Amino acid sequence: MTIDLKTVKHISKLARISLDEKKAEKLATDMNSIFEFIEKLNELNTDNVEPLTSIAETTLRFRDDKITSENIREKILKNSPEKNDDFFVVPKVVE
């Protein structure tokens, strides 16, 4: 199987990473060599195998529905690239 340039561009849209033509071509080459290596898994018949989704056999714990942190708005907003007093600011999304 080969991953063509069109697929790479589609994936880059899904991943929200802009790519120029040259980078897309390089990625197509890299991804093909990596997938060639990954295809080895097809040698194995796994029809009756349960997928392993988590190594830690724990059930999710419940906690009390209590607020543990208060008045951290300022702290949270501190790292924001653009903000006004109370909100994160992004480019305009509504015309």
Partner 1 sequence: MSEISSLTLYELIKNIKEKKISSNEAAKSFVDRAEKSKKINAYVTENFENCLKLSKEFDDKPNFDLKLPGIPIAVKDLFCTNEVRTTAGSNILNNFVPNYESTVTQNIWNEGGILLGKLNCDEFAMGSSNETSFFGNVQNPIAEDLVPGGSSGGSSAALAANLTPVTIGTDTGGSIRQPASFTGTVGLKPTYGSCSRYGIVAFASSLDQAGPMSKDVKDSSILLEVISSFDKKDSTSIDFKRNNYSSELTRNIKGLKIGIPKEYRVDGMPDEIEKLWKKGIEYAKDCGAEIIDISLPHTSYALPTYYIVAPAEASSNLARYDGVKYGLRSSGKNLIDMYEKTRSEGFGEEVKRRVMIGTYVLSSGYYDAYYLKAQKVRQLIKQDFDQAYNKVDAILTPSTPSSAFKIGEKSNDPVSMYLNDIFTVPVNLAGLPGISIPAGVDKNNYPLGLQIIGKPFDEQTVLNIAYSMEEKINYKNNITDWWMK
Interaction site with partner 1 (CB under 8 A): 3, 7-8, 11-12, 14-19, 27, 30-31, 33-34, 37-42, 44, 46, 49-56, 58, 60-61, 63, 72, 75-76, 78-82, 88, 90-93
Burial of 77 (0-12, 13-18, 19+ CB in 10 A): middle
Specify the residue, 86 or 91, whose C-beta has the smaller distance to partner 1. 91
Look at residue 48 and give its three-state secondary structure: coil
Alpha helix positions (H), the chain: 5-14, 21-38, 73-78
- Nearest approach in angstroms of CB 51 to partner 1 is 4
Are 24 and 12 within 8 A, CB to CB?
A: yes
Minimum distance between the CB of residue 88 and partner 1, rounded to whole angstroms?
5
Based on CB atoms, which residue is closest to partner 1, 67 or 93? 93
Yes or no: say if 3 and 31 are a contact pair by the CB < 8 Å rule: yes
Q: How far is the CB of 33 from partner 1 (least distance, A)?
A: 6
Nearer to partner 1, 25 or 38 (CB): 38
